[in-house]
Structure 1
Amino acid sequence: MIYSMIIFAITMTLPLAISGMTKFAFRQITQMKLQKHENIFEYLESTGVYSRQRFNSLEKREVQTKSKDGLTLSGYALETHPGAKRWMIIFHGYTVSLHVSTQYIDMFDREGFNMLLIDQRRHGNSQGLYTTYGFHEKFDVETWIEWILDHYGEECVIGLHGQSLGGGTVLEYLAIADHHVKFVIADCPYSDLTRLMHHQIRVLNKIPTFPLLKLVNRRMERVAGFRMEQVSPLKAVEHSKMPVLFVHGTDDNYVPTYMSKELYERKPEPKQLLLVEGAVHANAYSVDRKRYAEEVHALIRNALETEGHHIDVERLYDRSDTAAAT
């Protein structure tokens, strides 16, 4: 009798437990709580890469556009080189906002770029209910490129930088890339969403992936409109001739370092791989700013000189050094 009651209790409670875990995992993957910009600046200031005061003092303007599926997307346009036709669009990672992208401003300013710092859908001031890891976000990239061309002319040349979620987003975009985009920098990107979630559930959270991953995937398709297997930057890069720099910290366990290595191996030339020793997830730039910037600048110059877009870099360095001194 007691044995039968135990079996009955397990039979009744197990489905509820699995359902609860599925809903929780789904929210963690697509709707995790967002970080406040105050906390983001506290982190940036602690690493010495940027400050709230510098951002507040920038000349910038808030801009908006509409996504292909009707969401309002927001960002800041920084015209540090008025009239220049070089534009960088910088895409942040999961749960943060465009404020984390401020750390890269100086690096691209020195190469003569105006910048567009954007809030990804569901983040910051942009609308959206779910993060889809590039499934919808790659079309948001396309929308922002169209915004630049509409406002600054068809002769613009554009580069993309993405960190973590942003890295996966810009790599997914390679499957539909416009010819105005000349290069991509993917910092700590994932190579395949299914394998990333398998790693984070099994390795980081010590939870069996079966049947949880399958159930989460079903819920994602039913509620958020996409499946994990529909997001695979590995597939997006394998036929792309776009110059790409892959960056990853050697101690990254959140998005394993091997993912950038396999992306680099799968992608045809031109390509570069920068592994930053000792860096964990999303802090490669703060660990080795000098080497990071050198690799980025080399990528830009090689990509744009090949396209015939030469610029007097020494003049820009003199100008930015003078500005920094003031």
Structure 2
Amino acid sequence: MPSSWFALLRRRRLSLTVLACLLLLLPIGCAKLEQTERELVFRIEPGTAHWFRGLPAGIEDVQLQSPELGADESLHAWWWPAARQDAPALLYLHGSRWNLTGQLFRIEQLHAMGFAVLAVDYRGFGQSRGALPSERSVYQDALIAWQHLTRLQPEADKRFIYGHSLGGAVAVHLAHELAGEDEAAQAAGLIVESSFTNLGDVAAAVTNTSLPVRWLLSQEFDSLSKIADVGIPVLIAHGRDDRYVPSRFSEALFEAASEPKQLLLIEGANHNNGLRMAGNSYRQALQALGLEIN
């Protein structure tokens, strides 16, 4: 056998060995990559938000129960009944980073509009125990919270889903899932504020790159492919001065959504103060959808 064949065989064996090593290491590398991705997506701030000054009177601490929760997991929520017993109830789904203590100002504004509010911390946030969240786990947590809300407000035409930022994607997914259920499980309306089309789009916008970063993402949060089929009226709101998530994403969501729908672009509002800046426009947009709060 010529020496060149031996050299070729040695190179081929070396290549096969390297390939085998890569295949063995790939799951470990992918697992680490996914963990890092989830850490960056959720960016959990531990403890209490520094601007939190305590709960207003009337808010109840609730521990949600579900067979889906493990022995070392829990799901903590706030329930804030409205002044009227027959008031509509809203499930509040927050975005990344801040737990419920960082969300109170927005919850207060929704409650002042006339909603009874159930606000939930996903596992791993705030007082909810659990491992690092994932797209799958936050979807599951939202469904558990929704099932609790249906017991608090049994009338489907008085139940709403609200999601802010990343929570908007969770809200769209929940509404999409409920669309396939019986009427008793469904919602009257969906409110999505300061959100995006999918995680790949917003990641590319934040990093200001044309590279296909979505290929590296295991978490999709793809609202764009779901919002047309939620089967309920949709209000999409966004501040025009949002520096984190451009309002063009909400415009794209609106275009993809089915009627009835309303788009509320709020002049001068940023990522977090849309409710306050919109004033009565929020209520008017809901009324235009035929959704009465009072």
Residue of structure 1 equivalent to 2:128: 126
Equivalent of residue 40 in structure 2, options 29, 47, 57: 29
Please give the residue correspondences for 1:280-291 in structure 2 after superposition, counting only pairs within 5 Å. Answer: 280-291=270-281
Residue type of the alignment partner of 1:136 = S
Which ranges of structure 1 fall in alignment gaps of 5 or more residues?
1-18, 42-51, 218-226, 305-310, 314-326
Aligned equivalents of 2:78, 2:288: Cα separation in 1: 25
In 1, the alpha carbon distance for the partners of 2:288 and 2:65 equals 31
Aligned to 1:322: none
| Aligned position for 1:64 | 63
1:216-255 paired onto structure 2 within 5 Å: 216-217=216-217, 227-229=218-220, 231-255=221-245
Q: How far has the Cα of 1:235 moved from its partner?
A: 1.1
Task: Quickly say closer, same or farther: Cα 1:108–1:153, change in 2 above 3 A.
Answer: closer
Contact 2:113–2:283 (CA under 8 A) maintained in structure 1: no
Are residues 185 and 263 of structure 1, via their aligned partners in 2, closer, same or farther at CA, if it must alter by over 3 Å?
A: same
Instruction: Give the Cα–Cα distance (whole angstroms) in 1 for the partners of residues 42 and 188 of structure 2.
Output: 32
1:78 to 77, 80, 98: 80
SS in 1 for 2:167: helix
Amino acid at match of 1:59: G
- Residue number in structure 2 paired with 1:163: 164
Equivalent position SS for 1:246 = strand
Q: 1:60 to 1:299 in 2, by over 3 A?
A: farther
Offset at residue 160 of structure 1 (A): 1.4
User: How far did residue 213 of structure 1 move?
Assistant: 5.7
Partner of 1:184: 190
Cα RMSD after superposing both structures? 3.2
Secondary structure of 1:235's match?
coil
Match of 1:224 in 2: none
Map Cα deviations across residues 179-220 of structure 1 (whole Å, 9 max, x no partner). 33111111111111122222223x1xx7x846x764x43xxx
The structure 2 residue matched to 1:272, chosen from 214, 237, 262, is: 262
How far, CA to CA, are the matches of 2:265 and 2:131 in structure 1?
Answer: 34
Residue 154 of structure 1 aligns with an amino acid whose one-letter code is: P
Q: Residue 148 of structure 2 corresponds to which residue in structure 1?
A: 147
Deviation at 1:247, TM superposition (A): 0.8
User: CA–CA distance in 2 between the matches of 1:74 and 1:183?
Assistant: 24
- Secondary structure of the residue that 1:39 maps to in structure 2? coil
Contact 2:44 2:98 in 1 (8 A): no
Quote the Cα distance in structure 1 between the aligned partners of 2:126 and 2:154: 29
Larger % of helix: which?
1
Aligned partner of 1:39 in structure 2 is 50
Q: Confirm or deny: 8 A CA contact 1:249 1:280 kept in the other structure.
A: yes
Deviations 1:165-185 (A, max 9, x none): 111110121221253311111
Shift of 1:293: 4.3
Alpha-carbon shift at residue 119 of structure 1 (Å): 1.2
Measured in 2, the distance between the counterparts of 1:100 and 1:293 equals 24
Q: 1:102 aligns with which of 104, 119, 123?
A: 104
**Amino acid of the structure 1 residue aligned with 2:276:** S
Greater shift after overlay, 79-88 or 166-175? 79-88
Q: Distance in 1 between matches of 2:55 and 2:35?
A: 37
CA distance in 2, matches of 1:247, 1:273: 6
Relative distance call for 1:35 and 1:285 in structure 2 (3 A) is farther
Q: Which has the larger radius of gyration?
A: 2
Change (3 A) 1:108 1:251: closer
Identity %: 23
Give 1:233 shift: 0.5
Greater mean alpha carbon deviation, residues 257-266 or residues 60-69: 60-69
Partners of 2:88 and 2:153 within 8 A in 1: no
**1:8-19, aligned counterparts within 5 Å?**
none
Instruction: Give the secondary structure class of the aligned counterpart of 1:245.
Output: strand
Amino acid at match of 2:285: E
- Counterparts of 2:34 and 2:139, CA distance in 1: 26
Question: How far is the alpha carbon of 1:106 from its aligned partner?
Answer: 4.9
Aligned to 1:175: 176
From the superposition, tell whether residues 33 and 141 of structure 1 become closer, same or farther in structure 2 (CA, over 3 Å). Answer: closer
The alignment's TM-score, normalised by the length of structure 2, stands at 0.74
Alpha-carbon distance between aligned partners in 2 of 1:303 and 1:290, rounded to the nearest angstrom: 14
Q: What is the rounded CA distance, in whole Å, between the counterparts of 1:265 and 1:153 in structure 2?
A: 31
TM superposition shift of 1:299: 5.6
Matches of 2:35 and 2:51 in 1, distance apart? Answer: 25
Cα shift at 1:110: 5.0
Q: Report the Cα offset of residue 128 of structure 1.
A: 3.1
Partners in 1 of 2:274 and 2:113 — Cα distance?
Answer: 20
